[in-house]
Amino acid sequence: MNTTTAPVSAVDPRQFKSFAEFYPFYLTEHANLTCRRLHFAGSTISLLCLVALIVTLNPLWLLAGLVAGYGFAWVGHFGFEKNKPASFKRPLYSFMGDWAMYRDIWLGRVKI
């Protein structure tokens, strides 16, 4: 048995020099179907909160959108994926990855 091979989660997301390099890693960090579903739900709720913010101009909708987006994602990671979100080490690429995965779910490229 080879014990020297590091698990995918041991990859430091700061090593990627471009989002194109980062995104395949991002998808491996979202292999669990429930985690992806929670991300999708959180992102959808966040978009609805953005619409509510624009319509009402109530800044509490911004807070609600952030809580929903990150809350659902973090439950998915800690509860189901059993890894630490890459947003802790690579926040911009992770944010971009969330929306790229959301798009790819709608396009049928990523299963939920």
- What range does the domain containing 61 cover? 43-112
pLDDT at residue 5, as a whole number = 42
pLDDT at residue 86, as a whole number = 85
pTM of this structure: 0.86
Domains contained in the chain, number: 1
pLDDT at residue 32, as a whole number = 97
pLDDT at residue 9, as a whole number = 54
In a domain, 51, yes or no: yes
pLDDT tens, residue order, the chain (112 aa): 444 443 445 788 889 999 999 999 999 999 999 999 999 999 999 999 999 999 999 999 999 999 999 999 999 999 999 999 888 889 999 999 999 999 999 999 999 9
In a domain, 34, yes or no: no
In a domain, 64, yes or no: yes
Place of tokens 């998808």: 27
* C-alpha radius of gyration, the chain, whole number: 15
| Four-residue CA torsion sign, 4, 7, 10, 15 | positive
In a domain, 17, yes or no: no
* 3-state secondary structure (DSSP) of residue 82: coil
In a domain, 3, yes or no: no
In a domain, 10, yes or no: no
Half-sphere exposure of 100 (CA within 13 A, CB side): 15
In a domain, 103, yes or no: yes
In a domain, 61, yes or no: yes
